């Protein structure tokens, strides 16, 4: 309440005596309790771990580094919770811990980058300049998919940019220095003495970046113009998947699955009978998703294929138990819910 008044209702706060915010009797009782608390201090390794968690919480929640010194209520809460065994770290301790976390994070990212580079995977980068209250920061991210098809999005560095002119040249240099620090290529600034650099590998950052993403600001565009990248790779990959979903037996299979999905979406009886089959087979009692893809999209087909792959046994049991409904679902005069289609789509579902 005191913090809320201080920041949101300054006029009201100035008229109040801070000591009146909490009843005097309550404060006296709390003080008496804290004085009676006696406990053995935490072991050094446990306290270090707790201090690191506090520093991580302060950094992630954008709390003041001096929280351990200035937030009396939080200090008292820790005193009570730990029976006096734990004291929050102060400003200097938190500052050093955050620097340590930053150093460790950079080392971990460098190790991860080296692993994906050995697999001949190029990371892409994204960046933007953010400013508020006289503070300017250039944020730089790396993102990529590893050999196990896990997506990674990592902060390379938040670069202080208030003292720099936001020109394309400065943006390019800052980008290359930050990337080189984590192993995305190598880069060293020119010495300015006019001598030519003998090392031909002094600047390889742009060769080790797959793609770049930024806003359309002229300084970002000109600064990152050197990163030619592979701007169409995502589009080409999407079109490749689209052709796969329309080719031969896969296209026919997905067409049959769409027909069955429409049946379950429009038939209340069919949907209820499907849920009974799902319950009997131990699969989730859900309806198949609708395929609302455009001419160039395939996300809906992916979701439909994944659902039928998961519900394969339930749909086949539906075909056996409800032949008339199954015939309506697939418009098949033989009265079968195309069981071969459910089997054919298995590789599509596993591909997710």
β-partners of residue 154 are 142
175: which 2 tokens?
A: 């980008």
127: which 2 tokens?
A: 């960046």
Our measurement of the distance from residue 159's CA atom to the centroid of its chain's CA atoms, rounded to an integer in Å, reads 20
pLDDT of residue 261: 84
How would DSSP label each residue in 237-302?
Answer: HHHHHHHHHHSHHHHHHHHHHHHHHHHHHH-HHHHHHHHHHHHHHT----PPPP----TT--HHHH
Distance CA 224, CA 212 (A): 8
pLDDT of residue 155: 92
Lookup result for tokens 């270090």:
48
pLDDT of residue 21: 47
Distance CA 245, CA 313 (A): 23
pLDDT of residue 42: 83
β-partners of residue 318 are none
pLDDT of residue 68: 87
Specify whether the CB–CB gap between 176 and 203 falls below 8 A: yes
Q: Which residues contact 127 (CB under 8 A, 6 or more apart)?
A: 138, 139, 140, 141, 171, 175, 212, 213, 214, 220, 224
pLDDT of residue 3: 66
β-partners of residue 143 are 124, 153
Classify residue 327 as left (phi > 0), alpha (psi -120 to 50) or beta: alpha
pTM score, two decimals? 0.54
Specify whether the CB–CB gap between 259 and 330 falls below 8 A: yes
Structure confidence by residue, pLDDT tens digits, 187-214: 987 655 555 444 556 889 988 998 888 8
16: which 2 tokens?
A: 């109040």
Structure confidence by residue, pLDDT tens digits, 284-329: 999 888 777 666 667 778 888 888 888 888 888 888 877 766 666 6
Helix (H, G, I), strand (E, B) or coil at 6: helix
CA dihedral 224, 228, 234, 239 (to 10 degrees): 140
Distance CA 231, CA 323 (A): 51
- Give, rounded to a whole angstrom, the gap between the first and last alpha carbons of the chain: 49
All residue ranges of the chain with pLDDT < 70 are 1-39, 190-201, 229-234, 293-297, 324-352
């Amino acid at each position: 309440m005191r913090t809320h008044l201080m920041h949101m209702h300054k006029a009201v706060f100035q008229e109040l005596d801070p000591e009146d915010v909490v009843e005097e009797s309550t404060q006296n009782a709390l003080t008496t309790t804290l004085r009676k608390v006696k406990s053995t201090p935490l072991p050094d390794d446990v306290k270090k771990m707790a201090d690191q968690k506090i520093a991580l919480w302060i950094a992630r929640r954008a709390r003041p580094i001096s929280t351990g010194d200035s937030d009396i209520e939080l200090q008292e809460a820790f005193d009570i919770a730990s029976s006096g065994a734990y004291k929050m770290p102060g400003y200097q301790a938190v500052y050093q811990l955050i620097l340590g976390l930053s150093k460790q994070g950079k080392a971990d990212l460098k190790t991860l980058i080296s692993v994906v580079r050995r697999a001949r995977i190029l990371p892409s980068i994204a960046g933007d300049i953010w400013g508020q209250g006289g503070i300017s920061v250039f944020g730089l991210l790396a993102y990529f998919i590893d050999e196990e098809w896990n997506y990674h999005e990592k902060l390379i560095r938040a670069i202080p940019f208030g003292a720099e002119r936001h020109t394309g040249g400065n943006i390019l240099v800052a980008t290359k220095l930050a990337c080189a620090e984590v192993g995305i290529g190598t880069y060293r600034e020119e010495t300015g003495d006019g001598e030519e650099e003998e090392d031909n590998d002094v600047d390889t950052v742009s060769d080790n970046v797959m793609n770049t993403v930024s806003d359309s600001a002229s300084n970002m565009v000109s600064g990152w113009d050197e990163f030619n990248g592979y701007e169409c790779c995502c589009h080409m990959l999407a079109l490749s998947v689209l052709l796969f979903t329309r080719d031969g037996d896969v296209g026919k299979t997905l067409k049959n699955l769409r027909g069955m999905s429409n049946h379950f979406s429009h038939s209340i009886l069919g949907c209820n009978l499907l849920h009974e089959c799902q319950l009997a087979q131990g699969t989730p009692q859900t309806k198949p998703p609708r395929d609302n893809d455009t001419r160039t999209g395939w996300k809906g087909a992916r979701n439909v294929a994944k659902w039928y792959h998961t519900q394969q046994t339930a749909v086949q049991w539906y075909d056996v138990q409800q032949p008339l409904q199954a015939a309506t679902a697939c418009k098949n005069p033989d009265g079968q819910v195309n069981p071969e289609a459910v089997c054919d789509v298995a590789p599509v579902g596993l591909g997710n």
